[in-house]
Chains A and B, each alone.
Chain A
Amino acid sequence: MTASTPAATFEALDDLDAINKLYRERRWSDGLPIVPPTPERVARMLACTQRKRDDVIAILPPGFGEATVERIAINAVMAGCDAEYLPVLIAATDAVAQAQFNIQGIEATTNPAAVWLVLNGPIVQQLGVNATFNCLGQGTWANATLGRAMRLILQNIGGALPGDMDRATQGQPAKYTFCCGENEAQSPWEPLHVERGFAREVSTVTVVPAEGTLNMNTHSKDAEELLRVMAESMVHPTSNEYCHGGEPWIVFAPEHADILKAGGLSKRDIKERLWELTKMPAGHLSVKEILRAQASRADEYGAIKPDTLLSIARTPDDIWFIVAGGPGTHSVYVPCFGNSRAVTREIT
Chain B
Amino acid sequence: MGKRVAIIASSGGLETAYKVFNIALAAAAMESEVGIFFTFEGLPIIHKDGPSMLKLKPENAPMEEGFKRTNVPPIQDLIQMAKESGVRLIGCQMTVDALGWKPEDFIDGVEFAGAATFVEFAQDAQVTLSF
Real binding pair: no
User: What residues of chain B have their CB less than 8 Å away from a CB belonging to chain A?
Assistant: none
